[in-house]
C-alpha cells in the first residue's frame, strides 16, 4: 500500500508528464480548473493515466468529486486502502 505522500508524488508525476506542469504548480491546494486550467477532457485523461499507474478503476462519481490535487490524492489513496 502506498502512503499519501507516495500517492501525491504519483499524482504529481502524472500531471507533470501528461500536462507539462512544473513541480511548483502541482501542490495539494492547487485547484484543477482554476489553477491548473484542466477541463473535463483533461480530467478524463488524468483518470485514465492514474488507472494505468495504479491499477485502480475510478468511477464517474470519483471523477465528479475531484476539485483539487489533494482530492485526487485522497480518492486514489482511499481506493488503494
> Could you tell me the three cell numbers for 49?
493515466
Predicted pLDDT at 30: 98
Please give the CATH architecture assigned to the domain spanning 4-80: Orthogonal Bundle (1.10)
Predicted pLDDT at 64: 81
Predicted pLDDT at 25: 96
> Could you tell me the three cell numbers for 20?
507539462
pLDDT bin (cut points 50, 70, 90) of residue 23 is: very high
Q: What is the pTM of this model?
A: 0.90
* pLDDT tens, position by position, 33-81: 999 999 989 988 998 998 998 888 888 787 888 999 999 999 999 888 8
The structural domains of the chain, with segments of one domain joined by +, span 4-80
Task: Establish how many alpha carbons lie within 13 A of residue 59's alpha carbon, considering only the half-sphere containing its beta carbon.
Answer: 5
- DSSP assigned state of 65: T
Predicted pLDDT at 43: 87
Amino acid at each position: 500500500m502506498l502512503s499519501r505522500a507516495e500517492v501525491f508524488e504519483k499524482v504529481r508525476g502524472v500531471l507533470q508528464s501528461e500536462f507539462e506542469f512544473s513541480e511548483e504548480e502541482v501542490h495539494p491546494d492547487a485547484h484543477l480548473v482554476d489553477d491548473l486550467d484542466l477541463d473535463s477532457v483533461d480530467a478524463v485523461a488524468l483518470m485514465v493515466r492514474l488507472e494505468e499507474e495504479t491499477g485502480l478503476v475510478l468511477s464517474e462519481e470519483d471523477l465528479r468529486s475531484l476539485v483539487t490535487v489533494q482530492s485526487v490524492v485522497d480518492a486514489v489513496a482511499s481506493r488503494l486502502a
